[in-house]
Amino acid sequence: MSIIQVTGSGGSVLSDRTPFYGGRVPQEISILIKPLAKCDKETIGKILQLIVSSMEGKSVSHEQFKQLSNDTLTDEMVSVIYSGLYSLLKRAIRLPLTSLKPEMFKEDMKELQIPSEFQEDISSVVFGARRSRIEQEILASRPRLPKLDQLKWRVDVAISTSVLNRVLEPTILMEMKLSNGKIHLFEVPVSQFHQLRYNVAYVLKEMEDLEKKSILKIQD
């Protein structure tokens, strides 16, 4: 676990918790600080609105970026600020509210040298009313494999084959329907079917034992 140092008016305070961004500051966040100093509170508010819209699954056009640039804030600076704040907010939102408190988040932003006048607006995205919609969109858009929607099976007995006149060997014919609509048919010998049942029961037991471990329980 990383140790961060928080410096306040009363001196330095050591904390043994890991900041929300991890043990090392990501590059897109570290290069954010310099152009951020040339930005005003109104522009930061507009950039945050675009980030929230993007996180909610809405499209952000190039023209919206162009409207944010001016004589002191170039298009490149706007892009750096946008990507840096996007990464910062995404890393903060992926943590449950029981793990990241508002005061902790502000301490971490202070360590990152984010100007104090922007911290309240940034915090409102992480702890505000629109967080639930952002979390829903992140959950819905994350890459994942198809899920098992339906499983059917039946026992077939082969009476004979082209090689043997009398077989009488049972097999399990299984049909899997996935969430993407694909259907897979395959045959399983009885011995492998029993092995499948054993492995599924073993995994479920391991998951149950893992959930009982205190290290996985979130505590305030």
* Residues 130 and 44 grouped into a single domain: yes
Shared domain for 176 and 71, answered yes or no, is no
pLDDT, tens digit, 9 for 90 and up, residues 73-130? 888 999 999 999 999 999 999 899 888 999 999 999 999 999 999 999 999 999 998 8
State which of 124, 141, 158 marks the end of a domain.
Answer: 141
- Tell me whether residue 220 is in a domain: no
What sign for the dihedral angle of Cα 197, 198, 203, 206? positive
- DSSP letters along 54-80, please? HHTT----HHHHHTT--SSS-HHHHHH
156 with 173: CB under 8 angstroms? yes
In a domain, 23, yes or no: yes
Does residue 200 form part of some domain?
yes
pLDDT at position 144 is 80
137 lies in the same domain as 152: no
Indicate the residue among 141, 162, 196 that finishes a domain. Answer: 141
| Domain membership of residue 187 as a residue range | 148-214
pLDDT of residue 162: 63
Stretch 36-64: mean pLDDT:
90
Domain termination residue (choose one: 117, 141, 165) = 141
